[in-house]
Amino acid sequence: MKHLAGWRRLGWKGRVVVLGLTGLLPVLAAVPAGAADGSSSVTCATGDSCVIQLDRMVQFGGADYSPGADNMVIDIAPPPCSWNPIGNAYTGSQAVISGSGGTAPPPGSAFDTAQTYQQAKQLLATTPMPAGEWYVLPIAPGDTAAQAAACLAEPLYFFDVPGAALPGIDIPPVTLAQLAVSKLYVPVAGRMYLSPVNGVSYSNLPVFARVTLAGRYHLGPNGMPYTTDNARLGNNAATVWVEAMPLQISTTDSSATLDTNGCGYTGSAEMVHDPAAVASTGANGTADCGATFRAPGAWTITAALTWRTCWVPAVENGPPPAACNAVPGANLNPVNWVRNVNVHEIQAANGAD
């Protein structure tokens, strides 16, 4: 399984050795690369390994894109050619020149090194510093023969300007959807309200429950909370949504009766729209969302809201469409609320919260 944040592409072989670029490795180890578009940074490790984050290559957007999000998605397939960032127009250009020992490769040299050497010299002489990022393309030990051949057909170095795709990189829409989920804002638990108030109830008296979400979100059909963002690279794009599933109620009292037919997404609607009716509900009545405890004791009532992710291969706005596919490998934690309920022998009900 792979965490979305990145995978490790280990080793430098093949053309790196042929071209004598071992002098480049200390530069890779020392330079933390910052993406030209301001997305998350990548820091190369020491020796001959470098952590590569695929999300550096992708443009994210949408109402709820959150650069700081780190949602878990598993089994993401990396592209055959994972370009390693080596620096901006100045630091990366110096790395390109140092990789050839400071000597210009002759015209016609393999992997376009003669052209990229001259490009690096021009960038170093340009002020102000041009926007963009230099990348180097190693062959990873785990590559198949076909993947290695695809990488060998590309330049060794490439200067990527903001908004442009790297050569040989074709990330399919489903992978873009997985990446978008990783950077999608997901609301968290707010407050949980009960009626009767303060978590004090009586045996056989219904306890109504409703919850709130903290953070930004939108409301779709039937009041469904959702958030959305998108990811693009080249001609491919994907929009994802995380949408709430109906609220689930449980208790630690095994003899309790659960009333969940009217829970919707945030619990009891009657507590909002008809609090007087809630307050007047007597023993052996029914809550639209909640539980009826049958025995005195110190119990808890728990509400859980789970999330469903879905995606379409395009950039779209608004709530999720009907034809929306589940995002493979997306594992989002549910939102949980827990309240204590002290149940006494039956007496008159208290008022609503």
Instruction: Enumerate residues 6+ apart whose C-beta is below 8 A from 145.
Output: none
Give me the pLDDT at residue 162, please: 80
- Residues with Cβ < 8 Å from 195, sequence gap 6 or more? 207, 208, 268, 271, 275, 278, 279, 350, 351, 352, 353
Write out residues in the chain with pLDDT < 50, as ranges: 1-53, 347-353
What is the model's pLDDT at position 343?
Answer: 93
Name the 3-class secondary structure at 299.
strand
* Token pair 């992708």: residue: 58
Q: Looking at residue 234, what DSSP letter applies?
A: T
Return the amino acid letter for 90: Y
Cis-peptide into 320, omega within 30 deg: no
pLDDT in tens, 205-234: 999 999 999 999 999 988 999 999 999 988
Residue 301 parent element (H or E): strand 297-305
What is the model's pLDDT at position 79?
67
CA angle 127, 27, 46 (to 5 degrees): 145
Say what the pLDDT of residue 78 is: 66
Identify the pLDDT of residue 20.
33
Sequence spans of domains, the chain? 7-170, 188-344
The DSSP 8-state label assigned to residue 322 in this structure reads S
- Give the per-residue pLDDT at 129: 97
pTM metric for this prediction: 0.71
Task: Provide CB contacts within 8 A for 63, sequence distance 6+.
Answer: 218, 227, 228, 229, 317
For residue 183, what are the CA distances in angstroms to 122, 149, 172, 197, 329? 36, 32, 17, 38, 14
Nearest alpha carbon to residue 318 among 239, 265, 236: 239
